[in-house]
Structure 1
Amino acid sequence: MTHPLRFGIWAAVHGSRAAHHDPDEPDDAGWARNRDLVLEAEALGFDAVLVAQHTMNPYDEGRDQLEAWTASAALAALTRRIEIIAAIKPGLYHPVVLAKMALQIEHVSEGRFGINLVNAWNRAEFERAGLPFPAHDERYAYGREWIGLVDRLMRGERVDFEGRHFRVEDYRLKPAGTFRPRPTIYVGGESEPARALVADHGDVWFINGQPHGDVAALIADVARRPAAQGRLRYGLSAFVIARETDADAKDEHARLLDLSRRDEALRADTRARTDTASVMFAKTDAAATRHVGTNGGTAAGLVGSYGTVAERVGAFHAAGIELFMLQFQPFEAEMRRFAHHVIPLVRR
């Protein structure tokens, strides 16, 4: 089976992705930096940008935090080709309101918008706002009912629904279906409820960065399940360190690891606010002494010479990964390096 190969970036919504004390990386989560970053990524040929959703900075509450949905709407108006994917935590928005927002951004972008359904892990983000933060599996049950409604509303269906969490009476949203049936639905999470949810409601499953064998096993498990939306596609998060030689890349990885040790107090504060049932944090916290980056980071193994990184991208692609959602540090300089030296090798 052949499938497309696309490269995306994580927007710098809370600043640095690896180490917060890097003199070469501005710990800047502001709109101007993110706007310029995404416009340059589009010019370099990247295919997508993921705008993660947090209302407060999840790593340091004293730092800036970009708001995902207003920023995505602005990016939709400024860009012409790149896909804009906004993360959404269902507990923060009623499905009718969110579906209308998604359709508006879909219309502004002329069919280049996607939503990334995520199961929130930062308890403080909800509890300090007086919002409920149920247990892990209960949040997925809520999210399942939520995305079922959002899906129908984004398709322009007239919806009458009464469930455990929501009641919607004779609701229909317009405009819908102008460019395609609805925006793309991405789903994150690797727990059993997450896998069942993506098979039932997702178009693309986002997998956190981890070794090739683990990724292949995850894809095999979900691929065995009937997919309600047709053929399910797969994306992978990864932090990239590419250099002229494997040794140079290894040295840079060591430099970032050394810098990240200065962030231990920040990580401890984050752990204290994290749902202990989160599969992502169970994996990434255990590997923090060996890897840098969020959502798995360098655990995906995209560290090495340009040829090594291109070869490993090819292996993941052969296993079924279509979209690589990438992180870099310093972001702008390393994004350019990847575009100029790695993407051409992969395309060949």
Structure 2
Amino acid sequence: MSIPLARFGVWALVHGSRAALQDPEEPYDASWTRNKALVLEAERLGYDSVLVAQHTINPHDPNLDQLEAWTASAALAALTERIEIIAAIKPYLYHPVVLAKMAQQIEHISQGRFAINLVNAWNRPELERAGIGFAEHDARYAYGREWITVVEALLRGERTSFNGEHFHIDDYLLRPADPFRARPRIYVGGESEPARQLVADKGDVWFINGQPLEDVARLIADVSARTRPASLAGLRFGLSAFVIARESDEEAQQHLAHLFALAAKDAPLRAQQKANIDPKAVMFQTFAQTPRVGSNGGTAAGLVGSYDTVARRIAAFQHAGIELFMLQFQPFEADMRTFAEQVIPRVHALNALNAG
């Protein structure tokens, strides 16, 4: 396997802080104003992507603010010039024809910088309280497979007919078609068996949740060995991770301990969140195995240490096949700047040294 060129992205703060909600250095703020400023600065700093997670209600506490992913992504597409905008989507919330049209429009606004992140719903109240219902795990993936089949064809500008268990599409065509590429990129999340097969069959990039290098390498090997449709290029891989990069390993560990202490204050909210989670979601089974801060695996990926330590660990993940590192920080803005200034140049230097 050739070593991919590293790309770096950030998580938009759609529901506030990622590690601890009660941090005096980072007051809770999931506003559009903050997210706009954060993404514009990320683009200026050279980050390649931003992931805008989708929730209609806050997954920690329904009384807390929650940014809406798709309207925010459309606005970001108009305000930015270079950064890739990845909007997450839970299939039950949008009919595939409507969503494909929305995605097509944001692709035009961004001039070819838009992507979809297909995720399986795990937050039960979000669907149940809307009267949509919360299907069993594998049934949700079967629904999502039909859904993305319709969306993908429409995004390609194809005249689409589909007759499945959930959707019946009759000779549908969306215009204008994509003038920038065949269609927007499709990221897929999830690590269960149905998720892995869906990634192999339909995805361009697989988002893996933060976890130790050896586990990530096994996941990549498993999905890389699966047959893919001839119409799709080789599958690429992304990793979610929470980064703590400081001048020394000791300073980084001290900040990690500080965040663990702050996160302990959120225990009642975490307990409620856990009660809302589908127990069959592999993501949360994996999270339970390793103490961590941050969402989607967080610090379990091990990107905690000095600038050199973190750069070397990123290079090791690159050797395993990771191309895109989708990052979280706390305090977010300050640590995002530090990472761009101190760690990214070190990663590029390591890549140049290894290439030579």
For the aligned pair, the TM-score class normalised by the smaller chain equals: over 0.9
CA distance in 2, matches of 1:52, 1:137: 22
SS at match of 1:178: coil
CA distance in 2, matches of 1:260, 1:177: 44
Question: Does structure 1 residue 238 correspond to structure 2 residue 241?
Answer: yes
Offset from partner CA, 1:9-54 (integer Å, 9 cap, x none)? 0000000100111100121000000000000000000000000000
Question: Does structure 1 residue 276 correspond to structure 2 residue 279?
Answer: yes
Offset from partner CA, 1:209-256 (integer Å, 9 cap, x none)? 000000000000000001221200000000000000000000000000
State the shift of 1:203 in Å.
0.1
Report the aligned-residue RMSD. Answer: 0.7
Offset from partner CA, 1:73-95 (integer Å, 9 cap, x none)? 00000000000000000000000
State the shift of 1:295 in Å.
0.3
1:173-212 aligned at under 5 Å gives the runs: 173-212=174-213
CA distance in 1, matches of 2:28, 2:174: 39
CA distance in 2, matches of 1:95, 1:3: 32
Q: Counterpart of 1:160 in structure 2: which amino acid?
A: S
| TM-score, structure 2 as length reference | 0.96
Question: Does structure 1 residue 162 correspond to structure 2 residue 148?
Answer: no
Q: Counterpart of 1:70 in structure 2: which amino acid?
A: T
* 1:60 aligned partner: 61
* 1:259 aligned partner: 262
CA distance in 1, matches of 2:33, 2:289: 34
* 1:319 aligned partner: 320
State the shift of 1:175 in Å.
1.4
State the shift of 1:284 in Å.
1.6
* 1:8 aligned partner: 9
State the shift of 1:286 in Å.
4.2
SS at match of 2:120: coil
8 Å contact from structure 2 (residues 203, 235) kept in 1: yes
| TM-score, structure 1 as length reference | 0.98
Runs of 4+ in 1 over 3 A off after TM superposition: none
State the shift of 1:161 in Å.
1.3
Question: Does structure 1 residue 226 correspond to structure 2 residue 208?
Answer: no
1:10-159 aligned at under 5 Å gives the runs: 10-159=11-160
Q: Counterpart of 1:176 in structure 2: which amino acid?
A: A
State the shift of 1:282 in Å.
1.4
8 Å contact from structure 2 (residues 108, 178) kept in 1: no
Query: Percent identity of the aligned residues?
Result: 67
CA distance in 1, matches of 2:108, 2:178: 9
* 1:344 aligned partner: 345
Offset from partner CA, 1:55-104 (integer Å, 9 cap, x none)? 00001111100000000000000000000000000000000000000000
CA distance in 2, matches of 1:227, 1:199: 6
CA distance in 2, matches of 1:124, 1:182: 33
CA distance in 1, matches of 2:124, 2:62: 13
- Distance change (3 Å), C-alpha of 1:214 and 1:286: closer
Q: Counterpart of 2:263 in structure 1: which amino acid?
A: S
CA distance in 1, matches of 2:92, 2:134: 8
**Once structures 1 and 2 are overlaid, which stretch shifts more, 97-106 or 226-235?**
226-235
SS at match of 1:59: coil
SS at match of 2:266: helix
SS at match of 1:4: coil
CA distance in 1, matches of 2:71, 2:91: 16
CA distance in 2, matches of 1:113, 1:26: 30
State the shift of 1:312 in Å.
0.1
* 2:352 aligned partner: none
**Once structures 1 and 2 are overlaid, which stretch shifts more, 293-302 or 3-12?**
3-12
CA distance in 1, matches of 2:271, 2:215: 27
* Unmatched runs of 5 consecutive residues or more in structure 2: 350-356
CA distance in 1, matches of 2:5, 2:243: 20
* 1:250 aligned partner: 253
* Unmatched runs of 5 consecutive residues or more in structure 1: none
SS at match of 1:15: coil
SS at match of 1:61: coil
8 Å contact from structure 2 (residues 3, 318) kept in 1: no
